[in-house]
Amino acid sequence: MKRFGQLLFLCLFVSFFSCDKQSKTDSKIQKEKIVISDEEQDFLGITNKDKLSAASKRALNWPKDATNDWYFEHKIHDLKGDLAYEEGVVRRDPSAIIKHNGLYYVWYSKSTGKTDGFIGDIEKVKVFPWDRCDIWYATSKDGITWKEEGVAVKRGEKGSYDDRSVFTVEIMEFEGMYYLCYQTVKSPYNKRVKNQVGLSWSNSPNGPWTKSKEPILSPADNGEWLGDDLQDRRSVVKKGDFDSHKVHDPCILPFKGKFYLYYKGEQMGEQVTFGGRQIRHGVAIADNPKGPYVKSPYNPISNSGHEICVWPYNGGITSLITTDGPERNTVQWSPDGINFEIKGAVKDAPHAIGLNRTADNEKEPTEILRWGLTHEYKTWDYQYIRGFTTQTKKNHGSYKEGAKKKQ
């Protein structure tokens, strides 16, 4: 009987605690005073207006004008000519494509030889495929068959900020001038090295190019490494800002009378969260294409992403977020170039996209993605540039429905 009494008391206590907890939850919802229209309740399939899960609350904040116009699927194809795969050569990270005198132009990172990793004499080995790169360029009449024209920007002289590698380049054409921004690394290349961003300019896409004497963007200087092991990039006393380790993948866009330099930030002591690396994007703004560039106080402007892929649309800036973070594989748009909202999700997207800047940006949100360039890993040692095409995908029916429509 005593045992029965203990069990009864326990059941009553658990029941009271559960009811009390539920009551507090309901009370909290009431205090939030979330007002839901009948239309919203019907559209989102919410059972009770006064009992909202966290998912329902997020859904209520989704854009009211959400459409499928931002959704697309892609296919990849081989290129011909000098950009076809070549054993022993790395060609990767194509820039955007521009057109000049009837020819398409693209710039890219190029190196030769296999990757050794961080072993032996660092001054002699190649630690990454993008190590010991120069920036090359190629032209094409049709975007399929490409002719390699030569080096555009070489690595700097020993002791300069870009003496080890120049890579991951982007092009901006503005008022008859051409600007190449790119990542730079100074020797020695260890795992704690801090990548920077360089700039070169010319009055012709064929060069010659004048190089900035100093970087136009550098990592934040507010993190602190733990210990002296230069090959340990995980151990920190303090992580610092989202870009305390590296600034990568730069892209400059003219926007609202200024110049917005979008970039990928890597943090000291970077971790893996939500199944992806801890990568976020930032922006730095200047009055002149050559700078100085000042980082936005609102950085980071994304909580996910990898390579920068941005383009103007409808008076704002669109960003394709891929690879890393909880919002990967989404297309986002911002009216001010800083505050981005998700406009659509995609099944997958090409990597390291070279956008076709000759496209009509205003025709559709993703018109600029109808064709362009990407890179692909043949092996860890060797990558090559390929083409991609996309199409909008506004309907998603069952397999049988799709089969009927094709008949």
What integer pLDDT is reported at residue 29 of this predicted model?
A: 41
Q: How far apart are CA 2 and CA 13, in angstroms?
A: 17
Strand partners, 392: 72
What integer pLDDT is reported at residue 44 of this predicted model?
A: 92
Number of neighbours of residue 89 by Cβ within 10 angstroms:
14
How far, CA to CA in Å, does 273 sit from each of 191, 270, 302, 326, 344? Answer: 20, 10, 14, 8, 22
Determine contact, residues 144/79, Cβ cutoff 8 Å.
yes
C-alpha neighbours within 13 Å on the C-beta side of residue 286 = 14
Determine contact, residues 306/282, Cβ cutoff 8 Å.
no
Instruction: Please give the helix or strand (H or E) that residue 247 lies within, else none.
Output: strand 246-255
- What lies within 8 Å, CB to CB, of 95 at 6+ separation is 106, 107, 108, 169, 170, 171, 180, 354
What integer pLDDT is reported at residue 396 of this predicted model?
A: 64
What integer pLDDT is reported at residue 33 of this predicted model?
A: 78
CATH code given to domain 72-392: 2.115.10.20
- What lies within 8 Å, CB to CB, of 36 at 6+ separation is 46, 49, 52, 60
Which pTM was predicted? Answer: 0.89
Distance from chain centroid for Cα 177: 26
Per-residue tokens: 118? 């961080």
Q: How far apart are CA 296 and CA 95, in angstroms?
A: 24
Going by C-alpha positions, the residue among 69, 81, 128 that lies closest to residue 387 is 81
What integer pLDDT is reported at residue 318 of this predicted model?
A: 98
Number of neighbours of residue 258 by Cβ within 10 angstroms:
13
- For the chain, the 3-state helix, strand and coil shares in percent, each to the nearest 5, are 15, 35, 50
What integer pLDDT is reported at residue 242 of this predicted model?
A: 97
Going by C-alpha positions, the residue among 290, 286, 279 that lies closest to residue 249 is 279
Residues in the chain predicted with pLDDT less than 50, given as ranges, are 1-19, 21-30, 401-407
What integer pLDDT is reported at residue 89 of this predicted model?
A: 98
Q: How far apart are CA 349 and CA 58, in angstroms?
A: 25
Q: Find tokens 């199944």 and name the residue.
A: 275
